[in-house]
Structure 1
Amino acid sequence: MIKIYAPASIGNVGVGFDVLGAAIQPINGNLLGDIVTITSAKKFNLINTGKFKHQLPKSTKKNIIWHCWINFCKQIKKTIPVSITLEKNMPIGSGLGSSACSIVATLVALNYFCSEPLSKIKLLKMMGELEGKISGGIHYDNVSPCYLGGLQLIIQEKNVISQKIPHFKDWFWIIAWPGINISTAESRSILPIQYSREICIQHSRNLAIFIHSLYTNQKKLAAQHIQDIIAEPYRIQLLPNFMSIKKIILELGALGCGISGSGPSFFSISDNLKTAEIIANTLTKHYLQNEYGFVHICKLDKTGTKKIG
């Protein structure tokens, strides 16, 4: 039996549309992500469990886990009869890398089960391709941090998909999922096909300064440039009370905040636990829409996907 945990992630991290992603771990020690268990079987079998299993397709062949298995078998040129149990703990369409959690955990578990016939780079490419089936285009800003941990810069050149870059270890990342769902494909479809020269220049400046600040340990400068001028102006129409909540959170002392991935999850950053707790309480009271929503104070998960059984 192989049991694999894959953590939630913040795609884009505000300033890095499709080129930055961060794996997250609640500071209370709880696991925030999907778990996949694989055992031997006479034929392929899929069992769905977990809090959000009701969001999954009823047909096995429409489940991304099935596609992971099919693609893995093609890669190793062998059909593996296994029983896969998906513990679906991440809500679909939450902006926290839900599909990435399932894809990454499944492929890593299959690779372990078969004595690791595929390299990390081969697995990562498969993860990106399978993620693309759901989102409408290959992108690695969730699968890379989910798999490899930390803050990942997506390079996507030749055999280098992404690399881990520095982050501030005293930053708390507060994430809030309001309890509603947004399709990644829908969220991407509302973005403009073209941007003005001014927007492109400012976006490049923000991203360059943010990454420079990480390498030179300039926290204030980094926080000042967590600005999303590519997606946020267009996606706020899909998010309830986003701008008013953002204003409140910044006034409470957040270093920065924005939309996690495609939304509707909200992320904010603080270097003070007390402030992080105040922000978390405020988001719980004013951003959550129903009993399904949740708020977590997190640190970056440096490990990424791991074997837990």
Structure 2
Amino acid sequence: MELQKRKNQLDFSKIENEIRVFAPATVANMICGFDILGFAVDAPGDEVAMYRTTEPGVRIRSIQGDDGRLPLDPDKNTVSACVKMLLQHLGIENEFGVEIELIKHMPIGSGLGSSSASTVAGLFAINNLLGNPLSKEELLPFCVEGERLACGHGHADNVAPALFGGITLIRGYEPLDVIKLPVPNDLYAGVVFPKVDVPTRDARQLIKGKVALKDAVTQWGNIAGLIAGLYESDYDLISRSMKDVLIEPTRAILIPEFYEMKQMAMDLGALSFGISGSGPSVVAITKDESIAKQITEKISAHLTAKEIESLHYVSAVNTVGPKIIN
């Protein structure tokens, strides 16, 4: 009934002909919160340009910045597939069509939520073209389906912060329950992407199906401490809590120079240091932008000396999420 009402309220004569949207990269897990915590950053990110057409259907017009790695088939590309799902959900897939240009500004397989940024940008774009019939909360399940298509696992720790901005907690999946957490004013992220290949599927396969109870208790305490620290803007508590005893020891094996980079970051004053998502990107959490810059520059220089190319970014937590751009 409610869905039919929204469909009836859509005025197709007022739908815009085109829109361009930016959606941000994300740091999933936030070191100690595997699959349940994540935050958005200002850069990098992806853009989607969307154009209304009279011919029904969803088509990919072009993809830039992917080195030919992403599918142009609209049923296999996460952006177009999710847009198609949303139009079918609203029952308007035959009313008009859209063509999509995807502009990748972030590396694929970086551990920075590349697929989620693209998917969120596409869904945010089509929802705005339609006059926002769905809330962000209602868009989220479509974003999760995009992650399922991209990597075989429908998790929300990347798409939730990319869509809502800020720091998000995935309290549960059945039903999907996302909570926005407070963002301390001086929290910064220094992200370094070593150009080595760590596919998400491979990284997940390394994770143990069972863990020792003492390690689980330690991790639960760290997650609870981190959340308490965010609410209190207690940087010492945040620092003590952002430690990963479950996932990092296994995934670090896939990232060259991980422990050397971690030592550098901590010596320069990072609150914490760990793996972004499934890697290979790493992230230093700091209380000061200048410290984050020092850390990323030193780590990048170290990787260069080891003949490993890298990219690096420094950002406060992005509290906006996707945005319409000119």
Q: Deviations over 1:192-234 (max 9, x none)?
A: 0101111111110111111111212221111121111121111
Contact 1:76 1:117 in 2 (8 A): no
Q: Is 131-140 or 233-242 further displaced after alignment?
A: 131-140
Contact 1:53 1:87 in 2 (8 A): no
1:298 counterpart = 2:315: yes
- In structure 2, stretches of 5+ residues that fail to align are 1-17
Contact 2:65 2:104 in 1 (8 A): yes
- TM-score between both structures, scaled by the size of structure 2: 0.87
Contact 2:238 2:271 in 1 (8 A): no
Larger relative contact order (CA 8 Å, sep ≥ 6): 1
Query: Distance in 2 between the 1:282 and 1:54 partners?
Result: 32
Query: Distance in 2 between the 1:274 and 1:122 partners?
Result: 38
Alignment partner of 2:167 out of 144, 151, 155: 151
Contact 1:121 1:159 in 2 (8 A): no
Query: Distance in 1 between the 2:141 and 2:289 partners?
Result: 37
Give 1:121 deviation, angstroms.
2.1
Structure 2 letter corresponding to 1:39: Y
1:200 counterpart = 2:216: yes
- In structure 1, stretches of 5+ residues that fail to align are 27-31
CA distance 1:119–1:273, change in 2 (3 Å): closer
Contact 1:92 1:98 in 2 (8 A): yes
CA distance 1:136–1:159, change in 2 (3 Å): closer
Alignment partner of 1:87 out of 99, 103, 112: 103
1:68 counterpart = 2:85: no
Query: Distance in 2 between the 1:21 and 1:87 partners?
Result: 23
Q: Deviations over 1:229-252 (max 9, x none)?
A: 121111112111111211122112
Structure 2 letter corresponding to 1:228: D
Structure 1 letter corresponding to 2:27: I
Contact 1:25 1:301 in 2 (8 A): yes
Equivalent residue, structure 2, for 1:117: 133
Give the 3-state SS of the residue equivalent to 2:116 in structure 1: helix
Contact 1:55 1:91 in 2 (8 A): no
Q: Deviations over 1:238-284 (max 9, x none)?
A: 11111121112211221111000010000002223332222121121
- TM-score between both structures, scaled by the size of structure 1: 0.92
CA distance 1:122–1:55, change in 2 (3 Å): same
Q: Is 211-220 or 10-19 further displaced after alignment?
A: 211-220
1:1-309 equivalent positions in 2, closer than 5 A: 1-26=18-43, 32-41=44-53, 42=55, 43-57=57-71, 59-79=73-93, 80-156=96-172, 161-287=177-303, 290-291=308-309, 293-309=310-326
Query: Distance in 1 between the 2:251 and 2:314 partners?
Result: 24
Give 1:57 deviation, angstroms.
2.8
Give 1:58 deviation, angstroms.
5.2
Query: Distance in 1 between the 2:163 and 2:73 partners?
Result: 27
Equivalent residue, structure 2, for 1:29: none
Give 1:12 deviation, angstroms.
0.3
CA RMSD of aligned residues (A): 1.9
